[in-house]
Amino acid sequence: MDSRTNTVMRTRALSRRFGGFQALDKVELTVRQGERRLLLGPNGAGKTTLFNLLTGDLTATTGSIEIFGEDVTRLSTASRVHLGVSRTYQIITLFPQDTVLHNVMLSLTGLRRRRWNPWQSFAADRLLQSDAVKVLDRVGLQAMAHRTVASCSYGDQRRLEIAMAIAQKPRLLLLDEPFAGLSQEERAQVQELLAGIPRDIAIVLIEHDMDVALAFADTITLLQHGRVVLEGTRDAVVADPRTREVYLGQ
């Protein structure tokens, strides 16, 4: 990480094209340590495409990505995870027939030497189980450890997914619509969870619930048609007439 600026992630002229469709167009974005950044924009603005480029789920057509000072533009997703990048998805990606505990243990395995020994029984790995229980306790899900994910509420599955992302010990956490589909009570639980994440972790959030998103964000980047339209502090972006024009169509 650049010790002078505390920059954790920077994109330069980052673009992605799908055939004749320009999904992302020369995006310049810098995120610093501890920052809470909101990506705002209408559907189709390029927000999730940007996430997929940052994590390596997609490769850039042109441009570059630096994470912690290292050019990762062509690195694999696994390599970026080991650098400290973690994410959640707009559509929950869990193993529904496995237990809550087993899902967390799997997420912890990805960063340990144990991943090279697939024959070792999870049940016999007491340290892994203990660490997974601590993760669940941190997010208030310890009592559900032995329930299958499919039997948990949608809100609890969202909290579990965030818990698994945090378990990766990230320095850059990307959250794709973590409040989508949640009840008011469930939103409050996720808000509390996010508020408790240490400030040494930078978080970039995609969210359409303006109330929770604006309460969370320090800075906002407004996207439209794959381009950055506006960027600045929360108050400055909210007050700018371009935000209403782009996001609300007014």
Listed residue (215, 242, 210) closest to 229, CA to CA: 242
- Residue 4: pLDDT band with limits 50, 70, 90: very low
Whether the per-residue pLDDT at 113 is higher than 50: the answer is: yes
CA separation for the pair 44, 28 (Å, rounded): 18
pLDDT value of residue 212: 81
CA separation for the pair 70, 10 (Å, rounded): 10
Token pair, residue 108, equals 């912890």
- Residue 116: pLDDT band with limits 50, 70, 90: very low
- Residue 128: pLDDT band with limits 50, 70, 90: confident
106 Cβ contact list (under 8 Å, min separation 6) = 95, 98
Whether the per-residue pLDDT at 5 is higher than 80: the answer is: no
Q: What is the pTM of this model?
A: 0.88
For 7-247, CATH gives 3.40.50.300
Q: Cα 4 to the chain's mean position, in Å?
A: 25
Q: Length of the chain in residues, anyone? A: 250
Whether the per-residue pLDDT at 125 is higher than 80: the answer is: no
Q: Is 96 helix (H, G, I), strand (E, B) or coil?
A: coil
pLDDT digits (tens, 9 = 90+) for 152-205: 999 999 999 998 898 888 999 999 999 988 898 988 888 888 988 999 999 999
Task: State what percent of residues in the chain have pLDDT above 90.
Answer: 54
Whether the per-residue pLDDT at 249 is higher than 70: the answer is: no
**Helix-helix angle 154-167:126-138, to 10 degrees:** 120
User: Which is higher by pLDDT, 14 or 41?
Assistant: 14
CA separation for the pair 83, 92 (Å, rounded): 23
Listed residue (16, 111, 17) closest to 65, CA to CA: 16
DSSP-derived secondary structure letter, 27: E
pLDDT value of residue 107: 84
pLDDT value of residue 230: 93
Whether the per-residue pLDDT at 100 is higher than 70: the answer is: yes
CA separation for the pair 92, 198 (Å, rounded): 24
pLDDT digits (tens, 9 = 90+) for 208-241: 877 888 888 999 999 999 999 999 998 998 899 9
Whether the per-residue pLDDT at 122 is higher than 80: the answer is: no
Q: Where are the domains of the chain?
A: 7-247
Beta pairing class for 62-67 and 219-224: unpaired
Q: Is 59 helix (H, G, I), strand (E, B) or coil?
A: coil
